[in-house]
Amino acid sequence: MSDDRANNLDVLSRRVNWKSTQMRARVRRRYWADRLFRLSGFSAVVIAGLFLLFLLGNIIQNGISGFMQTSIEIDIAFDPTLLPDPTLPPDQFSAALARADMQRLLRQALMAEFPNVSGRRDIIQLTRMLSSGARAQLRQVILKDPSVIGTTKRVRILASDEVDQVMKGNIDVGVSEENRKLQDKELAWLGRFQQEDRVSLSFHSRFITGGDSREPELVGVRGAITGSALTLLVTLLTAFPVGLAAAIYLEEFAPRNRFTDIIEVNINNLAAVPSIVFGLLGLAFFLGFMGMARSAPLVGGLTLALLTLPTIIISARAAIAAVPGSIRDAARGLGASPMQVAFHHVVPLAMPGIMTGTIIGMARALGESAPLLMIGMVAFIVDVPGGVNDPATVLPVQIYLWADSPERAFIEKTSAAIMVLLFFLISMNGLAIWLRQRFERKW
């Protein structure tokens, strides 16, 4: 072989015999190797794509049912002896209503449905099929229309999370009784409701409009969305002006010297600092040194502003640098001062690029959770925050909190919250892409 090869490749003495079988085999081998190489490259791209598809598909598959919730229609007899007099003035009426024993109303209704269920424990179990939010639901019904008092009306009442999970098929009812949350008799009760077509799965608006809760069927993302919005507002209001000013200075005014070099290197390095380190800075500076309130969007927003500032500066600089020098020369020639050149001409022309970079930076801040854990935005907060100093949490941290909850029903709620988060992220990135394509000029 080695002799043959020497013969075939002896280019100094004679030409290579490409027709020889050895050379043909060799060429074929090399082409095969190339094809294999190409295939590995292709499969790397495909694998990455499949990962993404699997991730998103998995989230959507788990999460889509999180927007739905099971309700059971129950005939409630609005017993006037348990409820306040509807002829009372409205404020007294609602105060009395808040004290009224709704649990008893529910219990009576359920006992009327199932006359042969007796015994304290069974009755408690029966009422447990309904959500603990049922009382508030009844109160709402009465408040809306006090004339129901004294009548019997069919009301749609939220089922408990376990019933809901059975309805969605997330709990396997085939396993033996002691291994599942819902017992056989509860399934039988549920079966009767189902037979009468009184169990329904429908869109659950509370998930969008409600705050956090311990009960999966009562949770909502509005508190977290509001927290995220307030936090991002603080971030935007601080990081955007400062980042823009820094970019203008570095591109238009800064002398080229060692010091500005240091600033540049420093900004590039800051962009790669782990986000959790910014959290530590926020903790030490804003909470420790400045003594600001824990868990507040103000502190969260300022911390995220530190995090997004390098991103905004880098992209704003790129956008400003892309404005051609002829614009500056023309403005200078017409007598504009350097400041006027920058603010009247360069910055407006660079604005689409700056906005694009800012939105992308904001999207990154929206998905960030680690630094916010450091400054205590990880508390259980039921109320929707009303201002930047109220305790709040943000959407990614809410996801983290729900992911930690043991109830089966929180899986779909977490996935649904992720879908909401991804929706906002996609919208923001879409807006950035649109801005870029619509307004960005090619010089």
Kindly identify the residues of this chain, within the stretch 294-333, that bind other proteins according to CB under 8 A: 306, 309-310, 313
Adjacent-strand bridge partners of 154: 75
The answer to whether 67 and 204 are in contact (CB under 8 A) is: yes
The answer to whether 94 and 143 are in contact (CB under 8 A) is: yes
Binds other proteins by CB under 8 A, chosen from 100, 117, 422, 431: 422
Q: Does 369 bind other proteins (CB under 8 A)?
A: yes
- Residue 97 or 399: the one with the smaller Cβ distance to other proteins is 399
Q: Does 396 bind other proteins (CB under 8 A)?
A: yes
Map tokens 């949490």 to a residue. Answer: 393
As a residue count, the chain comes to 443
CB within 8 Å of 321: residues ≥ 6 apart: 251
Q: Does 382 bind other proteins (CB under 8 A)?
A: no
Map tokens 């420093």 to a residue. Answer: 266
Helix (H) or strand (E) holding 207: helix 206-209
Interface size with other proteins, residues (CB under 8 A)? 89
State in angstroms the smallest separation of the CB of 331 from other proteins. Answer: 14
Q: Report the alpha-carbon distance of residue 439 to residue 443 in Å, rounded.
A: 12
Binds other proteins by CB under 8 A, chosen from 283, 296, 354, 420: 283
For residue 201, report the phi and psi dihedrals to the nearest 5 degrees. -110, 120
Q: Does 334 bind other proteins (CB under 8 A)?
A: no
Site for other proteins in 208-267 (CB under 8 A): 241-243, 245-250, 253-254, 262-263, 265-267
State in angstroms the smallest separation of the CB of 143 from other proteins. Answer: 29
- Residue 384 or 411: the one with the smaller Cβ distance to other proteins is 411
CB within 8 Å of 193: residues ≥ 6 apart: 72, 73, 199
Q: Does 83 bind other proteins (CB under 8 A)?
A: no
- Residue 110 or 417: the one with the smaller Cβ distance to other proteins is 417
E strands, 164-281, are 199-203
Binding span for other proteins by CB under 8 A among 110-118, 142-150, 216-224, 394-402: 394-402
CB 29: neighbour CB atoms within 10 A?
A: 10
Q: Does 143 bind other proteins (CB under 8 A)?
A: no
State in angstroms the smallest separation of the CB of 389 from other proteins. Answer: 9
Question: What is the contact mask toward other proteins in residues 401 to 420, using x (rule: CB under 8 A)?
Answer: --x-------x--xx--x--
Q: Does 52 bind other proteins (CB under 8 A)?
A: yes
Furthest C-alpha separation in the chain: 117
